[in-house]
A and B are shown apart, each in its own frame.
Chain A
Amino acid sequence: MIRVVLPAHLRTLARISGELELPVDGKITQRSVVDALEERYPTLRGTIRDQATKKRRPYIRFFACEKDLSHDSLDAPLPEPVAAGNEPLLIVGAIAGG
């Protein structure tokens, strides 16, 4: 199981609370985790990444294991502790604006 932490507004939108545990098949990457997330919570489609291009929205960041992975390839493997379910993937809304 992959652990995922969402921003508060997206937890509200998806009607969930706290950290998520998601089953993800195959290679554990940003793309496969967000695919699984959107599959389980269709209301999140378009809120993390563009629905057509799959490009991350500009004010969204992916953090894990104290690293900013936002600019990594969507298909790069996530850190081993995330793949092993020991550390969460943090999907973060940038601290900006009002």
Chain B
Amino acid sequence: MSSVRVLVGTRKGAFILTADGKRDTWDVSGPHFAGWEIYHVKGSPVDPQRLYASQTSSWFGQVVQRSNDGGQTWEPVGNKFEYAGVPGTHQWYDGTARPWEFKRVWHFEPSLNDPDTVYAGVEDAALFRTTDGGQNWEELAGLREHKTGSSWQPGAGGMCLHTILLDPVNAQRMFVAISAAGAFRSDDAGTTWKPINQGLHSEYIPDPAAEVGHCVHRIAMHPSRPDVLFMQKHWDVLRSDNAGEMWTEVSGNLPSDFGFPIDVHAHEPETVYVVPIKSDGEHFPPEGKLRAYRSRTGGNEWEALTNGLPQKDCYVNVLRDAMAVDSLDSCGIYFGTTGGQVYASSDSGDSWKPIVRDLPAVLSVEVQTLA
């Protein structure tokens, strides 16, 4: 029988939640790496027992942990993230030039065909890759060295590369997103990059339609249609039908077009999920009602999903890496909150329940569907 493993990164450790395919009863393991910030935990699609975790601390810096047994045991691997060459500068909040400085790994994206190859999105924004299971990390410097790199600026959370999407059809193609530079695409396996921000409109920058400078919060793709991308931006939900060449706003009737995560149903490529958040100064759900929104039309027409979610006095946030889906026949949707709950729906969002509810603030949620 199939089972599900949910990998949760929090402000104070990692937790692993497991259930059988019914998803009724959950076992909670953790905290792993207690007391450390776990920005992300993700498994290899080739070898689901191989997990990578980003363990960070303002005191002790970056540690990378690897598991070969689905998170029962872990071993620290390489944690040296050194920018290639002389890294130069980017823009700081006050407009001054600031040297690139590694701070932490926000996101690991394991290769689609090799458990030892993993991409890491880091702050200050850059892309690294290991091909030896995390022992050594090498920067794919063409991204940071893009001619616009010196003009990139941090968002409120830092200048982070938080999204990495690997094209399952075209091995040469990958997408990344950086706050607050925007989205980029490589068509040569990460060697060179182009900004893909046409159609984005951001009133908070001097030229709202600039080539870079947009605060992209998250991008999602359905593996069956890698040219179709969905984006949650700092205001506006958008889609692209041509691999990011042009974006169109599809915020439609959302109560707030601000939010962080966005994801796509495992079996319905036009069914998309977001969690609207009120911004700028508040960053909690509109009206204190925690609602996921689902569009079955690829955007524009959205329905509130409320069954089982708190509909009063709820003031949590849902961060950009904190939503994921499983691939069971009845698709499961999962998201974690800064209040420490992980909510799950085993019926595509029609109904929800907290599968754990008193964790530290949740930074990331990933789901593995196991045979």
Query: A-side interface residues toward B, CB under 8 Å?
Result: 7, 9-10, 13, 43, 45-48, 50-52, 57, 59-60, 93-94, 96-97
In the complex the two chains form, is B76's CB within 8 Å of A46's CB? no
**A-B residue pair count with CB separations less than 8 angstroms:** 42
Q: Which of A43, A48, A50, A57 contacts B63 (CB 8 A)?
A: A43
In the complex the two chains form, is A13's CB within 8 Å of B59's CB? no
Q: Interface on chain A toward B: helix, strand, loop, or mixed SS?
A: loop
The winner among A51, A59, A60 for most chain B CB atoms within 10 A is A51
By Cβ-Cβ distance, the 9 closest A-B pairs, closest first, are A47-B60, A59-B59, A43-B76, A93-B59, A46-B79, A51-B80, A46-B61, A47-B61, A52-B82
In the complex the two chains form, is A9's CB within 8 Å of B80's CB? no
- Cα distance A50–B60 when bound, in Å? 10
In the complex the two chains form, is B59's CB within 8 Å of A94's CB? yes
- Cα distance A52–B59 when bound, in Å? 17
In the complex the two chains form, is B82's CB within 8 Å of A97's CB? no
Query: In the complex, what's the smallest C-beta–C-beta distance from A40 to chain B, in angstroms?
Result: 14
**B residues contacting the other copy or chain, number (CB 8 A):** 13
- Cα distance A97–B59 when bound, in Å? 10
- Cα distance A50–B62 when bound, in Å? 10
- Cα distance A95–B59 when bound, in Å? 10
B 17-39 to A, binary, CB cutoff 8 A, 1 in contact else 0: 00000000000000000011000
Nearest chain-B residue to A50 (Cβ)?
A: B61
Nearest chain-A residue to B35 (Cβ)?
A: A9
A9 with B61, Cβ < 8 A, contacts A45-B79, A45-B80 known: no
Contacts of B58 in A (CB 8 A): 59, 96-97
- Cα distance A9–B61 when bound, in Å? 12
Nearest chain-B residue to A59 (Cβ)?
A: B59
Query: In the complex, what's the smallest C-beta–C-beta distance from B194 to chain A, in angstroms?
Result: 30
B256 at the interface (CB under 8 A from A): no
Contacts of B60 in A (CB 8 A): 7, 9-10, 13, 47-48, 57, 60, 93
- Cα distance A46–B61 when bound, in Å? 7
Contacts of B79 in A (CB 8 A): 45-46, 51
B57 at the interface (CB under 8 A from A): yes
- Cα distance A93–B62 when bound, in Å? 15
- Cα distance A86–B60 when bound, in Å? 27
In the complex the two chains form, is A57's CB within 8 Å of B35's CB? no
Contacts of B59 in A (CB 8 A): 7, 9, 57, 59-60, 93-94
- Cα distance A21–B271 when bound, in Å? 60
Contacts of A10 in B (CB 8 A): 60
- Cα distance A97–B115 when bound, in Å? 36
Query: Which B residues from 77 to 136 make CB contacts under 8 A with A?
Result: 79-80, 82
- Cα distance A93–B59 when bound, in Å? 6
A9 with B82, Cβ < 8 A, contacts A43-B63, A47-B60 known: no
In the complex the two chains form, is A13's CB within 8 Å of B76's CB? yes
Query: In the complex, what's the smallest C-beta–C-beta distance from B344 to chain A, in angstroms?
Result: 28
Beyond A43-B76, A94-B59, list 15 extra A-B contacts (CB 8 Å): A9-B60, A10-B60, A13-B76, A45-B80, A46-B61, A46-B80, A47-B60, A47-B61, A52-B80, A57-B59, A57-B60, A57-B61, A59-B58, A59-B59, A97-B58
- Cα distance A93–B58 when bound, in Å? 10
- Cα distance A60–B57 when bound, in Å? 12
Question: Could you list 22 A-B pairs, sorted by A, with CB under 8 Å?
Answer: A7-B59, A7-B60, A9-B35, A9-B36, A9-B57, A9-B60, A10-B60, A13-B60, A43-B63, A43-B76, A45-B80, A46-B63, A47-B61, A47-B63, A51-B79, A51-B82, A52-B82, A59-B59, A60-B60, A93-B60, A94-B59, A97-B58
